[in-house]
Structure 1
Amino acid sequence: MNMKKIFLCIAVLAIMISCKKTSYVAKFDKLPQERAAEQISLVSSTLTGSANGWIATLPTQAGGGYGFYMSFDNAGNVMMYGDMTAASSSTSVASYYRVKQDLGTELVFDTYNYIAMLDDPNAAILGGASKVGYSSDIEFTFDRIVGDSIVFIGKKYRQPFKMVKATAAQKASYLAGGYKTAIDKFTTTMATIKNPYIELGSGAQLAKIGVAVNTTNNLTLGKRIDLSGLAADGKVLSGTGKYSFRLDGADILGDGILVNGVRLVRILFKDATTLAFYDAKGTEYIIKSNPAPLTPLASLFGFPNTYPYKKITIPATGLPAGVNSEFTAVYNQMIALFTASGRTVSSTTFTLTSNSQFTIAIAYASTSPFTATANYGYTRNGDIITLDNNPISTSDNNWTTRAVQIKPLADYMLTGPFKIDWAASSSPGVPNLGGLYRTGNLGSFIYGTL
């Protein structure tokens, strides 16, 4: 009986074995070496297969963002332009590259080029930090191919190195020096827009957002776009992003800049003279000019060092042009009195020298230079400064000896209180000006450079 059971088990096993599927395919049907070789071939053929080359972008970990044009050949040569300097954007450099296998498929730049410049430990080359440059890579791990784009990730600093196939027209422009021309046009246009801003939102939620584009290679500030403004409810709106230049503007790298619910991804020329931001959906936001900065001067003007401004200066050239204020006649009367006495005024400054002392200093000369100085006590309430009526002359006593010449200004200082605010000029090229407005007559205000 036991033998029958044994034979029965053998028979069942035989039947099961005869029914085993023979269509099983291993999860990896190729050796690792074969798969690696195929991916190397894919990356290599993709890089060399773009007849018009590639437009690339690379944010650095420590610095800003940078743009490139590159062309790869089958002999391991790469030619490129970069947007770091006038020379790099107009003069191509050739170097070697490799596509190899390590922990993944890697693109390696073997010899010095504009990519390597960002990794240069010599601060004199581009302004990077000692030993680490801009904390940027020369070895990149292949990540993916999407449409006309190929994406790598920096091996050490993990920054995305993205390339998009160039068109024949773009290639021709890069090779003809068009990159430098485009960068110069962008920087010149931005420089002519006084206090640039964009408008985001609509209706009651409309907000003016100030725009600052830093075109330098400064490690901590350069190649970055800063946006800041106030929402309708007074909430501060701000955002910062790294960017790279392109032939028609600039790309904001990474995920763009999110401000007031809008994600801005690039700046392009709307026409020959107008720049505009564009969001991820293609909506346009024209960069406009404002007579004065959007941030109230009272928020920036004060005695502690945390304030960027604490002095208003009228230089030797006189009051800035293009400003309409009743103070102009007062100041010019003082200058005329000095001139009549055989003396010339080289500057006048209005300075918060402490949290309670406001100082006026008039630098003048006859045969020798002198300074007439008076210190006023003051109190401040928000953006309003109230001066004491009795200024204290300093030990040089020149405020007293030049009392006749100074009288128009001295009398004017008794007409406060004064409101701290920006002063606008209608003349192109005049920088942002600071003003002290008489609260009783806002058409009359001291003004000068900050």
Structure 2
Amino acid sequence: MKIRYIILFVLISFGISSCGKNDFDNKFDELPDERIQSTIKEYKEILTEPEFGWKMNYSLGSGIEYMAYNIVHFNADNTVSIKSKMVDDAIVSEFKIFSEADIELVFNTFNENFTSFSYPNVKAPNGYGGDVEFNFVSISEDKTEIVLKGKVNNGILKLQKADRDLSDFSSIQKYVNYLSAQRTDSYMNLAITSGLGATEDKPIVLGMDLSSMAIAADYNFNYKGEFYTGKKMLYFDHDGMGLSTPIKIEDSEIQYFVYNEDKHRYELAKSDLKGYLYCTKLPTYYVPGVYDEIMDHYSLKLRASFGQVWDKYIAMKRANTLIKNMVIVTDYKQRMPKFDKDGNPVFDDVFNEDYTLGKSLGEGLLFSFEDKTQFYFYFVPLEIKKIQEDRVAMKRLPGEFCVVKKGEDLNPIAESIKGNKEFNELVDYLCNEGGWYIRRTVEGGLIDWDFISQDNPNDYFYTRLY
């Protein structure tokens, strides 16, 4: 009785496995071995039948965001010809189909265009996480698409039947050029116009920075109160461009784009969503935590400015020669210089003038009278309001004051600056209602904060931690 149950279990299991990944007729009129051999033969016929071969996309399954794109021809003599843009001529190796726990496709000899991902090398002693053995996952009813999964690293190998001669990889360059031409501003975005509740009038917008130079796709977006960010590899094929793995939003996926030559833009394809790429001068997303960070005790010296900021800053300095630089401060405490008993400045371990902290000044614009210190200055108190997480607006507050060196006449200096037309034009412009988009960057290990006008993104200035 036990043997009968085991035989029944084996037959049922094999039947479920075979039917689950093929839509072919069941072959229960054959013996198990005969069914396996018949299935292997059928798979091989499907692989070798296409006149123009297959478009092969291989996404590594080792956590590495990489997509390999090749044109593949499987031949009746168990050779496989694989062509890529990296090598001029197709490279021929061997394959086989056999059954172990499942029906497998194995690339059993080395091929530079494909199996190199699996072999160790100097840069990657354990390889790049590729597979050479794949289990068949599914075959479409019309036999034009096959999906396989790597046995070891779980990479996804997708074969799509080619509908024309795709041996010329130089034609892919036009899709690279299309992307370059569409990048007309600093930030690229995907506007979803159908699906997820979006419409043409009220699209859901995702930051989608696609770079053909870096072959990378950086995505950033806010959705239902959460912020999502990440990086994918960008690849180009004979029909468009795609991402190494899909971006998933609820049950929808974003991975592939085709170019609409009439509208001169890339549009989302092979998805239940509809949408298109476009560019803006400012990001369409906001990054949580930026406001809280910049408000946590920063001293940021103006490093460079452009547009109206530059014009007004230079005019202010020409009219107020005592002012050496402008510093934006948050949660700031006054720096009080140290002197020895003879009245000489005290220097710290790196030969900067040492100081103690005085009273809290909060937020404001500190116009320093010195190049390297903040001991003597004219101070404009500010309220720095949060518009969004990485957007702020400055408001000028009463209580401006001046600190000068001992022995200098305070009042004339303070009154000269306070009443200066160019000075007030600069401060009032920085305190415009439209506000500023702010972002933190690191250059050469040094922290910078950029301020970009929301009303006119061509007006912006860079500051550095000071």
On whether the aligned pair clears a TM of 0.5, the verdict is: yes
Aligned to 2:113: 114
CA displacement at 1:35 relative to structure 2: 3.8
Aligned to 2:276: 286
Counterpart secondary structure, 2:306: coil
The CA distance in 1 between the partners of 2:90 and 2:132, in whole Å, is 15
CA displacement at 1:157 relative to structure 2: 1.9
Alpha-carbon distance change, 371 to 46 in structure 1, aligned in 2, over 3 angstroms: same
Counterpart secondary structure, 2:249: strand
Aligned to 1:226: 219
Q: TM-score, normalised by structure 2?
A: 0.60
Aligned to 1:140: 134
Q: Is the 8 A contact 1:93 1:113 kept in 2?
A: no
Counterpart secondary structure, 1:156: coil
Counterpart secondary structure, 1:47: helix
Aligned to 1:389: 400
Aligned to 1:166: 162
CA displacement at 1:376 relative to structure 2: 7.2
Residue ranges of structure 2 left out of the alignment (5+ in a row): 1-26, 334-361, 387-391, 439-448
The CA distance in 1 between the partners of 2:424 and 2:200, in whole Å, is 44
CA displacement at 1:188 relative to structure 2: 1.7
Instruction: Find the partner of 2:180 among 141, 164, 188.
Output: 188
Alpha-carbon distance change, 27 to 285 in structure 1, aligned in 2, over 3 angstroms: closer
Instruction: Find the partner of 1:155 among 148, 151, 158.
Output: 151
Q: Is the 8 A contact 1:100 1:106 kept in 2?
A: yes
* Residue identity opposite 2:280 in structure 1: N
Alpha-carbon distance change, 265 to 444 in structure 1, aligned in 2, over 3 angstroms: closer
Q: Is the 8 A contact 1:71 1:78 kept in 2?
A: yes
What do the CA deviations read for 1:155-213 (whole angstroms, capped 9, x no partner)? 112232110111224x2443xx223x145225424543542231434569924413324
Instruction: Find the partner of 2:451 among 409, 434, 441.
Output: 434
* Residue identity opposite 1:192 in structure 2: T
CA displacement at 1:380 relative to structure 2: 3.9
The CA distance in 2 between the partners of 1:351 and 1:60, in whole Å, is 47
Counterpart secondary structure, 1:168: coil
Q: TM-score, normalised by structure 1?
A: 0.62
The CA distance in 1 between the partners of 2:72 and 2:37, in whole Å, is 24
Q: Is the 8 A contact 1:119 1:138 kept in 2?
A: yes
CA displacement at 1:105 relative to structure 2: 3.0
Write out aligned runs for 1:3-22 (5 A): none
Instruction: Find the partner of 1:257 among 248, 254, 263.
Output: 248
CA RMSD of aligned residues (A): 5.1
Q: Is the 8 A contact 2:55 2:72 kept in 1?
A: yes
CA displacement at 1:414 relative to structure 2: 5.2
The CA distance in 2 between the partners of 1:98 and 1:363, in whole Å, is 76
* Residue identity opposite 2:139 in structure 1: I
Q: Is the 8 A contact 2:450 2:462 kept in 1?
A: yes
Write out aligned runs for 1:28-427 (5 A): 29-32=30-33, 34-61=34-61, 62-66=63-67, 67-82=69-84, 88=86, 91-101=88-98, 102-109=100-107, 110-119=109-118, 121-122=120-121, 124=123, 130-146=124-140, 147-169=143-165, 171-174=166-169, 177-179=170-172, 181-182=173-174, 184-189=176-181, 191-197=183-189, 198-200=191-193, 201-202=197-198, 206-215=202-211, 223-224=216-217, 226=219, 228-229=221-222, 235-236=225-226, 238=228, 244-251=235-242, 257-258=248-249, 263-271=253-261, 273-278=264-269, 280-281=271-272, 284-296=274-286, 300=290, 303=293, 315=304, 319-320=306-307, 325=308, 327-334=309-316, 350=328, 356=362, 371=372, 380-382=384-386, 383-385=392-394, 389-390=400-401, 411=424, 415=428, 420-422=435-437
Q: Is the 8 A contact 1:99 1:107 kept in 2?
A: yes
The CA distance in 2 between the partners of 1:332 and 1:268, in whole Å, is 48
- Name the stretch that deviates more: 283-292 or 269-278: 283-292
Aligned to 2:9: none
CA displacement at 1:70 relative to structure 2: 1.7
